[in-house]
Amino acid sequence: MSVSNILIKRGLSQLRVIRIPSLTIFLAIATTSFLLIPRMDYLRETALIDGMPVMLSPFANYFAVLNAITLLLLLAQMIFSGLMAWRLSDHQLTQMAPDRSN
């Protein structure tokens, strides 16, 4: 993100099309890594201390909701990564296309 901001300031304005997808990817990764997964690990450890798997513990519904949110954020990461790759490759293909006017 910071590299594309530097390149945009230097005149490569075509990188503006990846700002929103890359920001969304970073937010999804941060949310999953720092909020959801540690909470799921805590719920799993708490259930194991009580001597049962997490899906049989009283926190099973909460764990299932966190798991569904994590999977949705993973899906969003994959979609926005594909969108970012498509936008970057689409621009490079049009920029490097040979001139066939001869």
pLDDT on residue 91: 54
Instruction: Give the separation between CA 28 and CA 72, rounded to whole angstroms.
Output: 9
Which residue, chain included where needed, has tokens 């970057």?
A: 88
Per DSSP, 17 falls in state G
Mean pLDDT of all residues belonging to the chain: 84
Q: List the structure tokens of 30.
A: 């941060």
pLDDT tens digit sequence for 55-78: 999 999 999 999 999 999 999 999
Contact 18, 84 (CB under 8 A): yes
pLDDT tens digit sequence for 76-95: 999 999 998 888 787 554 55
Contact 28, 77 (CB under 8 A): yes
pLDDT on residue 69: 97
**b/e map 77-90, b = 16+ CB within 10 Å:** beebeebbeebeee
